[in-house]
């Protein structure tokens, strides 16, 4: 009888569902970067569990098929061990090593670029936050008058921290002074937005000195426009034409001891109504070109979770 008829054959590897789990974990973690750190943690957990089970599944020795019917010849069980078990063990070891090597190479290739590309947006310092700029006494602002205000948000940084805003005193709202303070940074690519109207340099007023100096110049804007790429905004900062993706950013302020003090900044999706009656859609300060609302904020580009 031909002895080869009784040599056992190894099973083909069974179909594994763990790679699907790994893919789900990766997708969940990536979506979490757009939505929440909790989803990132859940995705990482799914990835680790399914990855470990996948490696364990690959590294297991496959079960040999039962031998053909008939009495085994002398020494046949030794041949079965030599032919069935040893090659299967070697194959499993090589498969596990290949999988581990591939995972290591993949991590080395993908993790550093993701860290260097993804970490900077998560840093809170955007050049506008946690400032304290004294714009001058409240009585120096006339109700309804627009001013081009130039100031420095971080004197220790020198001229690089110089900023410009468009300021309008709206009068009292519930017995509190109301101001519209709009950044001149275009939300398309960050170019300086200009007032669409006549400027009155003769009426310029100054407060402070050095890097603390604040300069106010009257202007009569019909709106604001970007000279670089044609973005246009109305007097509340809403986009009216061109490539900008949202309304102009605004500065937050407080009234301290009868003086107007800038304390921060925020991004705006849209402003309804005008002046002291404005209803402002506020968001955490975002860089130019970034959507702060709607479906676009989930797709690209995105605002990192705070």
- The pLDDT > 90 percentage for the chain reads 42
Query: Predicted confidence band at 67 (pLDDT cuts at 50, 70, 90)?
Result: low
- For 230-259, the pLDDT digits (tens) are 999 999 999 999 999 999 999 999 999 999
CATH architecture of 133-297: 3-layer Sandwich (2.102)
- For 27-44, the pLDDT digits (tens) are 887 777 766 777 888 888
pLDDT at 125: 42
- For 80-136, the pLDDT digits (tens) are 544 444 555 777 777 777 777 777 777 777 777 666 655 555 544 444 567 889 999
pLDDT at 238: 96
Q: Judge whether residue 200 has pLDDT over 70.
A: yes
Q: What does the mean pLDDT of the chain come to?
A: 80
What's the pTM value of the predicted model, to 2 decimals?
Answer: 0.61
pLDDT at 63: 56
pLDDT at 124: 42
- For 120-130, the pLDDT digits (tens) are 555 444 445 67
Query: 59 vs 11, which has greater pLDDT?
Result: 59
pLDDT at 273: 92
Query: Predicted confidence band at 169 (pLDDT cuts at 50, 70, 90)?
Result: very high
DSSP the chain: --GGGG---BPPPPP-SHHHHHHHHHHHHHHHHHH-HHHHHHHHHHHHHHHHHHHHHHHSPPPBPPPPSSPPPTTHHHHHIIIIIHHHHHHHHHHHHHHHHHHHHHHHHHHHHHHHHHSGGG----SSSS--EEEEEGGGS-BT-EEEEEEES-GGGGGGGEEEEEEEEEEEETTEEEEEEEE-B-TTT-PBPEESS-B-GGG-EEES-GGG-EEEEEE--S-EE-TTT--EE-TT--EEESS--SEEEEEEEEEETTEEEEEEEEEEEEEES-GGG-EEEEES---TT---SSGGGTSSS-PPP-
CA distances for 176 relative to 39, 135, 173, 283, angstroms: 42, 17, 5, 23
pLDDT at 34: 64
pLDDT at 81: 47
Domains of the chain by residue range: 3-118, 133-297
Query: Predicted confidence band at 287 (pLDDT cuts at 50, 70, 90)?
Result: confident
Q: Calculate mean pLDDT across residues 132-157.
A: 92
pLDDT at 291: 85
Query: 189 vs 82, which has greater pLDDT?
Result: 189
Q: Judge whether residue 306 has pLDDT over 70.
A: no
Query: Predicted confidence band at 144 (pLDDT cuts at 50, 70, 90)?
Result: very high
pLDDT at 127: 42
Query: Predicted confidence band at 9 (pLDDT cuts at 50, 70, 90)?
Result: low
Query: Predicted confidence band at 139 (pLDDT cuts at 50, 70, 90)?
Result: very high
Measured distance CA(144)–CA(175) in Å, rounded: 17
Q: Calculate mean pLDDT across residues 165-191.
A: 94
């Amino acid at each position: 009888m031909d002895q080869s008829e009784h040599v056992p054959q190894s099973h083909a590897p069974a179909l594994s569902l763990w790679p699907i789990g790994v893919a789900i974990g990766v997708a969940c973690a990536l979506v979490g970067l757009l939505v929440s750190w909790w989803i990132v943690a859940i995705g990482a957990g799914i990835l680790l569990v399914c990855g470990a089970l996948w490696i364990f599944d690959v590294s297991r020795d496959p079960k040999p098929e039962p031998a053909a019917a008939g009495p085994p010849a002398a020494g046949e069980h030794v041949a079965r061990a030599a032919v069935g078990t040893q090659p299967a063990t070697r194959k499993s070891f090589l498969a596990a090593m290949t999988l581990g090597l591939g995972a290591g190479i993949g991590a080395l290739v993908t993790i550093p670029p993701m860290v260097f590309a993804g970490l900077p947006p998560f840093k809170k310092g955007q050049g506008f936050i946690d400032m304290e700029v004294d714009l001058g006494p409240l009585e120096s602002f006339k109700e309804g008058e627009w001013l081009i205000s130039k100031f420095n948000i971080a004197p220790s940084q020198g001229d690089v921290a110089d900023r410009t805003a468009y300021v309008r005193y709206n009068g009292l709202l519930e017995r509190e002074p109301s101001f519209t303070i709009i950044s001149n940074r275009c939300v398309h690519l960050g170019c300086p937005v200009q007032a669409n109207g006549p400027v009155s340099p003769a009426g310029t007023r100054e407060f402070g000195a050095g890097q603390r100096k604040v300069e106010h110049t009257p202007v009569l804007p019909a709106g604001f426009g970007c000279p670089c790429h044609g973005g246009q905004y109305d007097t509340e900062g809403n986009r009216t034409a061109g490539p900008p993706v949202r309304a102009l950013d605004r500065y937050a302020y407080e009234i301290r001891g009868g003086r107007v003090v800038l304390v921060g900044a925020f991004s705006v999706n849209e402003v309804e109504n005008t002046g002291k009656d404005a209803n402002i859609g506020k968001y955490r300060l975002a860089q130019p070109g970034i959507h702060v609302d709607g479906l676009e904020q989930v797709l690209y580009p995105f605002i990192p979770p705070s």
